[in-house]
Structure formats: C-alpha cells, structure tokens
Amino acid sequence: MAPLIDRHGIVSADPWRCIDNEAALDEAWGAARQHLILAIPLWRHHRARLTEQGHALGVWLGPEDEPEELAPDLAGLPVIAVQFTSFTDGRGYSLGRILRQRMAYGGDLRATGDIQRDQIYLLHKCGFSSFALRADQSPEEALAALGDFRWAPLVGC
C-alpha cells in the first residue's frame, strides 16, 4: 500500500482502495468488508448494494466531475478523493475549495494521483486533509512540505 499522510502529519497505510472500473469492482463483490473509493458512475450505480454488503464507501472525483452531484449525500461520505491526473492541472484545487467552502463538506478530503511535494502545502490551504502519495514518493518529504510556508509572510498582497 502507498503511504497516506493526514493534515496532522501522521503517516499510515491507506485502508481505502480506489476503484474506477467494473473489472476492479468485481473483486469487491462478496468479499469481506472493505473501504472502497469509487468513481462517480460506479458509486451511483452500485452504492446501495455495496453498502448492504457492509463496505465503507467514498467517492473519487476526476477533474471533469461536478461535486454538486454529491450534495444530497455529503454527510454520509467519510472520504472524497480528488484525482490529480497531472501536477499541472489545477482543477482539483477548485474542487477542494468548492467541497469545503461552498458545500461545507466535513469529511476527509483526499488529494490523490500526480501530486508533488511542492503542491502539498497549497492543497492543504484549499481544504485537503489527506494526501495519498505514489509509491515512489517519500513520506518524509511530503511531511516537510506541510510546514514549508507556515511562518512565511504574504508578499505583494
């Protein structure tokens, strides 16, 4: 499992499994209780049955997804993962701000995908509360990033 870092600087193994297609979801059917983060189409189609089977469910948003679709269900979602397909794509920052500020989401808002050390502090400022690192990323480097600008004054504001 890839490391997971929370906003308090705790590194742990990520108990959640991201699933973005039917083939990967087939492995979950009938299995013991799992923590599954599903792409919106899978979540919409299978959430009732998976919940009945005892699985904990979260939702995975891609850059093109509309978070407003989740509005009626936000209170029941323990985790929403925002997929960064490229570190140069800033749409995930906007999704984070919308979920935290406009929609008042209070659960774990997770950045996942192509996130770089230099982005972690700003992701945290946009409301992200955990960071699913790639297997090739250093948890120590990511932890250091959370404090990079803590005491830095704002320039040019």
| Residue 18 backbone phi and psi in degrees, to 5 | -85, 130
* 152 found inside a domain: no
**Domain CATH for 133:** 3.20.20.70
* 141 found inside a domain: yes
Task: Output the pTM of the full model.
Answer: 0.85
* 34 found inside a domain: yes
Task: Determine the structural domain holding residue 134 and report its residue range.
Answer: 3-146
Name the average pLDDT for the chain.
84
* 123 found inside a domain: yes
- Provide the number of structural domains found in the chain: 1
DSSP class of residue 70 equals G
DSSP string, 94-108: HHHHIIIIIS---SE
* 84 found inside a domain: yes
* 156 found inside a domain: no
Residues of the chain with pLDDT under 70: 1-2, 30-31, 87, 148-157
Q: Is 62 exposed, middle or buried, given 0-12, 13-18 or 19+ CB atoms closer than 10 A?
A: middle
